Amino acid sequence: MHWWLPPKASTFTGPIDGLFLAILIITGIAFVLVEVGLIWFIVQYRQRPGRKAFYTHGNTRAEVIWTAIPAVTMVALGLISNHYWVEIKGRNSIPANAYPIGVHAKQFEWQMTYPGADGKLGTGDDFTIRNQLHVPVGRPIVVQLSAEDVIHSFYVPQFRVRQDVVPGMDIKAWFQATVPGTYEIGCSQLCGLGHYRMRAQVFVHTQEDYDAWMKQAAQEASQ
């Protein structure tokens, strides 16, 4: 069984898992404070004969403190999160040397278009494969997402990457895999009755393996 985030396999896992942990600690403190406080009060101040409650309408100092602390924490969290957000999803976040792959979603499959030997999409040597995303390790990849019919969502949990795929929009998302292996792409936006089986695989290869695979796949595609 699994009690934590999925294994880490992209460069995003560092900042995202770190942020997750930081928020878990902050909220964990708040959680313990409130729940322990509640239980303490429940026991300590339960009704007993002859007692009267302490008559008060509040305390401005206490209220200022417990407004200010969350406010400062939230603003700080916003600033830190935004720093990573801009790196991950910002409008200029996609590295210039990112390797392009076209991903086209339709009810209920994924079509991956590879750039072929020239490394560019939209040229004559492109070829398309269903439900298999092959990428080289250690190199930024930009997936160019398009949808045929309804909204789908491109999601690879081990990469912590997710981007909706919207009909009528061309959306780019990038990531960089760090560990060779096989992973799964899930559709994470309800897209119809076959939503649950709209699954594909990601194969992360070393650069040599990738080049070899590319040669062979291009050959097979041209036959």
Q: Please report, as residue ranges, which positions from 84 to 123 form the binding site for other proteins (by CB under 8 A).
A: 84-86, 88-91, 107
Is the CB of residue 167 less than 8 Å from the CB of residue 192? no
Size of the site for other proteins (CB under 8 A): 88
Residues 161-190 that bind Cu ion (CB under 5 A): 187
Whether the upstream peptide bond of residue 108 has omega within 30° of 0, thus cis, is: yes
Q: What's the min distance (Å) between Cβ of 32 and other proteins? A: 11
Q: What's the min distance (Å) between Cβ of 176 and other proteins? A: 15
Instruction: Determine the Cα–Cα distance for residues 70 and 90; give it in Å rounded to an integer.
Output: 27
Which of 135, 141, 198, 204 binds Cu ion (CB under 5 A)? It is 198
Interstrand relation of 152-156 and 127-130 (parallel, antiparallel or unpaired) = unpaired
Which of 61, 62, 124, 208 binds other proteins (CB under 8 A)? It is 62
Residues paired with residue 165 on neighbouring β-strands, in sequence order: 152
Going from the C-alpha of 19 to that of each of 15, 59, 85, 125, 173, the distances in angstroms are 6, 34, 11, 42, 20
Q: Which does 23 bind (CB under 5 to 8 A by kind): other proteins, Cu ion, none?
A: other proteins
DSSP designation for 84 = H
Residues 200-219 that bind other proteins (CB under 8 A): none
Angle of the 60-89 helix axis to the 13-44 helix axis, nearest 10:
160
Residues 138-177 that bind other proteins (CB under 8 A): 149-151, 153, 155, 157-158, 160-164, 166-169, 171
191 binds Cu ion (CB under 5 A): yes
Binding mask 141-160 for Cu ion (x = CB under 5 A): -----------x--------
